[in-house]
Amino acid sequence: MKRNLVFLLLLPLMGMISRAHAVDDDKAGLFNTFYLEADHGPYVLVMRENKTFDLYGPGGAHLNGSVRASAEHVTLTSGEVKRFFHFDLASSTLKLGRRDTDKLTKGNLLGTMPPTTDSREVWATETLWRKRGHKPIELPAGGPVAVAPPEEAPTKRPAVPEAVPTPADFNDIAGTYAITSDGLTDTLTIGADGTFDYTPPGGTRQRGTLLRADNELSFVSTAHTRHLTLRRTADGLELTRRDTDVLKAGDAIGTMPPTDRTPLVYKRQGAAAPAPVSQPAAVAPSPAAPVAPPPLEKAAGVPVRDVKSIAGTYVHKANPFIAETLAIAEDGSFTYKDSNGASAAGKATLDNDVLLLTAGEVVRRFKATSEDRALVLHCDANDKPLFKNDLASMSPTVLKVAKYEKK
C-alpha cells in the first residue's frame, strides 16, 4: 500500500521530467547552421547551445546576439533589436513564423530578416543544403565557432568558406530615374552602395536593398521582393519583369512599374551616370556616352567655419519631382524635409572643416562651402550614415554633391 502511494505521488514529477526532456529535445534541433531557402538573398543563421547566434545576410552583412528558446518559440536579440518567432523542426528544415509581438526594424539586418510577412519561411540545415547540390556560403574569418554539428556530420567548426559573394557593382546605374504615365510620376533612386529609394505617385517612399547578377536586378524591401531584368539605354534604365516576378497589391514595391510583361524605361534625372569603377578617371567617355557637366566640386566657394554664418533656409531640387528643404538656426538646430514627406530634425555642428548634421543615431558628414546665396554640400569620405531615419537619404548621397539655394 505504501509503495503504491509513493508511486502515485511520483507520477506528476515523472511527467514533468518527461516534458522537460521533450522540450530539450525540441530545442536541440535549433542549435545548427541554417540556410534560407527563399529568394530574399543569401541568409545564413547560426544558433548555438551557449545561447548565442550569428546572422549573415546579402552583401556580406553580419551581426550577432543572444538566443532564448522554448519548445515552440525562439527570440533573437541583437542590441536593441528583438525578433519573436514560433518554429517547427522537421525533415532537416526549420520553419520560422512571426509571433504577434514581432516587430520589424528598418535598416537593421536582424530587424529585416525573413520572415517579414505572415507567411512562414523555410530554412535548411547545412547537411540538407549540401544534399540538394548547393554550395555552402563561406562565412567570414572569425565567424561562428562551436556550432553544434549538423545532422550526420561530425562535430566541427563551420567550414571557412570562400566568403560571401562580393557585393555587385552598382556604380554604372547609380542615380535618380523617373517614369510618368497619365500625369502620374514614379521616382526611383539607386545608390552606388546597392540600396534603392522608390517613391510612387502620391505615396510613401520605400527603401530597400538591390541584388544584381549580370542583367538580373532584384528589389528587396522588408515586405516583398521584385525580380526584374535590366538594360541600360541612352537616357535611362529599361526594366522588364522576369518569369519569377510576382506583384503584391497594397505594397509600393509590389506594384512598382513595370506591372505587365513589356519593357519599361525609367528616364535618368539630373547628371549622367558615373563611369564604372574600373574605368580610369582620366579616360574620356565614349562618343555614345553623354558628357557629364563640370562637377560642382570645382566651383569657387568659401569653406564654412561657423554654423551661424550659414543660418537660413535652403532648398535643393534633387530632381524635377522632389524638392528638399534644409533650415539651420543660429543656435545650430536644424530641420530637414522633402516634398514626399520625409523629415528629420537635430543639431548642426562643425568638427574642424567637416559639417556634422546629427538626428538621433544618424550622422551626416559634409564638406560645406558657401557660394553667393547657396550652400554646397560635398559628402565627406566618412559619410556613411545608418538608415535609421530620413536624414540618411538627404542629398547628397549617390552623386556626392548637392547645391542648396537660399530662400
Per-residue pLDDT, 406: 92
Summarize pLDDT for 161-184 with one digit per residue, the tens. Answer: 433 334 467 889 999 999 987 778
Question: For residue 62, with 0-12 CB atoms within 10 Å meaning exposed, 13-18 middle and 19 or more buried, which class applies?
Answer: middle
Per-residue pLDDT, 319: 60
User: Confidence band (pLDDT; 50, 70, 90) for 284?
Assistant: very low
**pLDDT, averaged across the chain:** 78
For 272, the grid coordinates are: 549622367
State the DSSP string of 141-198. TT---SPPPPTTS-S-PPP--S-SPPPPP-TTT-EEEEEEETTEEEEEEE-TTSEEEE
- Prediction pTM value: 0.36
Per-residue pLDDT, 397: 76
Q: What is the residue whose three cell numbers read 544618424?
A: 362
- What is the residue extent of each domain of the chain? 1-166, 175-269, 296-406
pLDDT above 70 as % of the chain: 75
pLDDT above 90 as % of the chain: 29
User: Confidence band (pLDDT; 50, 70, 90) for 140?
Assistant: low
CATH number of 1-166, picked from 2.40.128.370, 1.25.40.10, 3.90.1150.10, 3.40.50.261: 2.40.128.370
Task: Tell me whether the CATH fold assigned to 1-166 matches the one assigned to 175-269.
Answer: yes
| Structural domain 175-269, CATH architecture | Beta Barrel (2.40)
* DSSP reduced 3-state for 352: coil
Per-residue pLDDT, 1: 53
Summarize pLDDT for 48-102 with one digit per residue, the tens. Answer: 887 888 898 887 788 888 888 887 889 998 888 899 999 988 878 899 999 999 9
Max mean pLDDT among 35-49, 228-242, 333-347 falls in: 228-242
What whole-number distance in Å separates Cα of residue 68 and Cα of residue 53? 10
CATH of the domain spanning 296-406: 2.40.128.640
For 306, the grid coordinates are: 561657423
Nearest to 172 by CA among 192, 155, 186: 192
